[in-house]
Amino acid sequence: MVISSIHRSVVTIASCALFLLALSTQARAESAKELQTSARQALQSLYRTSPGSAALGKKAAGVLVFPQIMRAGLGVGGHYGNGVLFKGDAASGYFNTTAASFGFQIGAETFGYALFFMSQKDLNYLSNSAGWEIGASASVTVLDQGLAESISSSTAQEGIYAAVFAQQGLMGGVSLEGTKITSYTPN
C-alpha cells in the first residue's frame, strides 16, 4: 500500500514536471513581434472590460502585460508565461513569469495579468532587480473587479497594481504570491 502511494506521488510529480516543461518550451518559442501583438490585444481587452484599469494604464509609468499564463497542478503545480513591458505605446522590455506551488490543487487553466507601475520609482525597481518575487520584495495590490472600478488615476499615485484577466480552465483562483518575474530576450 505504501509503495503504491509513493509510486503514485512520483508519477504525479513527474507528470506535472513534464507538462510544465512542455508549457515553458511552447511559451519561449514566441517571437518578440508575436508577443507584442498578443500583449497589446490583451491589454486593450482588459481596458474595454475594466475602465478602472484603463485609467491606471493612462497614469502608469509602465505596464507589464502577460497575455497568456499557463497554469497546471496535481498536488504540485506551477505557471509560466511571457510578457511585454510597455512605456506609453512602446515596448521596452520582455519578461517571463514563473511560479511553483504545493498543496491541494488539481487542474489546468490559462489566464493573463497586467502589472501597473504607477511611478518611475516603482518601475526602476523592476529594471534594477535581476528578477523579483511578488510578495517577497515589492508590494503588489491585486485588483478585483470592484476595487479596479473604485481606483482612479488620482488615487493611485504610486505602487504596483495587478489586474488578472481572461481566466479559462478548471482550476480555482489565481494567486500571484511567490510569482518570480525575470527579464529575457525573445526569439
pLDDT-derived band at 60 (thresholds 50, 70, 90) equals very high
Picking from 148, 118, 135, the residue whose alpha carbon sits closest to that of residue 181 is 135
pTM: 0.79
Render pLDDT for 24-58 as a digit per residue (tens, 0 to 9). 544 455 799 999 999 999 999 999 988 888 989 99
pLDDT at residue 128 above 90? no
Residue numbers of the domain that contains 99: 2-183
- Better pLDDT: 51 or 13: 51
Which helix (H) or strand (E) segment is 149 a member of? helix 145-150
Q: What is the pLDDT of residue 107?
A: 85
- Each residue of 94-124: pLDDT tens digit? 999 998 877 777 788 889 999 999 999 989 8
Tell which phi-psi region holds residue 9, choosing left (phi > 0), alpha (psi between -120 and 50) or beta: alpha
Q: Report percent pLDDT > 90 for the chain.
A: 36
Provide the domain count of the chain.
Answer: 1
Please report, to the nearest 10 degrees, the dihedral formed by the alpha carbons of residues 19, 24, 26, 30 taken in order.
Answer: 170
Highest mean pLDDT: which of 49-53, 81-85, 136-140, 148-152? 81-85
- Contact indicator for 129, 182 with CB cutoff of 8 Å: no
| pLDDT the model gives residue 82 | 96
